[in-house]
Amino acid sequence: MAGVSRQQYASDIKIVRVMCTGRVDLAFIYRALLNGKDGVFIGGCWPGECHYLTQGNYGALSTLHIGRKLLEMIGLSPDRLRLDYISASEGSRYAEVINDFSSKVKALGPLGKGEGIDETVLRRKLEVVYNLVPYIKLVERERLRVPVRSVEAYNAFFDSDEFDKIFQDLVADKVELSQIMTILREKPCSAGEISEIIGVTPGEAANQLNRTARQGFIEFDESQMRFCVV
């Protein structure tokens, strides 16, 4: 309707059509970011108006919260990912929301540069998250299901301490471990060097390195005073 009504909206938006917002996979979002996009917008039916029995827009809402949490964890602004509800007849609203999102992403600056993250470091972080998407989706299915389908229930759960704990224990630690393994495959590093690269305290880095060493994935090379992959 926006085009038919000759509504003006940002020209820097690339539209990718899917049958339902529930079809928007977390991998799609992080692939777009890996390909240099500065933000991702998801637009779909209003809650309760999904054309499918699956009520896919609630799946999209879950993806939004998890995706934004992951962005924040790797040092990117969660505002680079947005979900809004727009019906097919709301051309004016579509143009308004798209223009608002475009202006806010421009204000954030280019992906990573706006947050002061080195390009190589940023790509490593995004690739780690992208490669872990199947695991993250498994955690979502097994531990992050919201029993009541309402926007309020979803927002309350993903803003809760329960979600934060599950995310930290099952997702954040896994992302940190994957980052460490990726870095150590490139070269041996000390706990201090690892902490600077992945953005955690030296104590947190040391704890993660020691746990990983106990699992037999890495070892401490005393001759170099560095951790390295076994």
pLDDT at 179: 93
- Which tens digits make up the pLDDT trace of 8-56? 777 788 889 999 999 999 999 999 999 999 999 999 889 888 888 778 8
The packing angle between helices 133-143 and 56-73, to 10°, is 120
Residue 194 in this model has a pLDDT that exceeds 60: yes
- CA angle, 11 then 16 then 17, to 5°: 125
pLDDT at 11: 77
pLDDT at 1: 44
Residues 90/141, Cβ–Cβ less than 8 Å: no
- Which tens digits make up the pLDDT trace of 35-48? 999 999 999 889 88
Beta bridge partners of 227: 189, 220
- Which tens digits make up the pLDDT trace of 114-154? 999 999 999 999 999 999 999 999 999 999 999 999 999 99
pTM (global) more than 0.75: yes
User: What does the longest C-alpha to C-alpha distance in the chain come to?
Assistant: 70
Please tell me whether residue 90 adopts helix, strand or coil conformation: coil
pLDDT band at 4, cuts 50/70/90? very low
Q: What distance in Å separates the CA atoms of residue 6 and residue 87, rounded to the nearest whole number?
A: 17
Residues 74/99, Cβ–Cβ less than 8 Å: no
**In sequence order, which ranges of the chain are alpha helices (DSSP H)?**
26-34, 56-73, 91-108, 119-131, 133-143, 151-158, 161-167, 173-186, 191-198, 202-214
Please give the structure tokens belonging to residue 51: 């054309």
Mean of all residue pLDDT scores within the chain: 91
- CA angle, 188 then 217 then 179, to 5°: 60
Mean pLDDT computed over 191-212: 89
Mean pLDDT computed over 78-86: 96
Q: Which amino acid is at 88?
A: A
Residue 2 in this model has a pLDDT that exceeds 80: no
Q: What distance in Å separates the CA atoms of residue 47 and residue 50, rounded to the nearest whole number?
A: 7
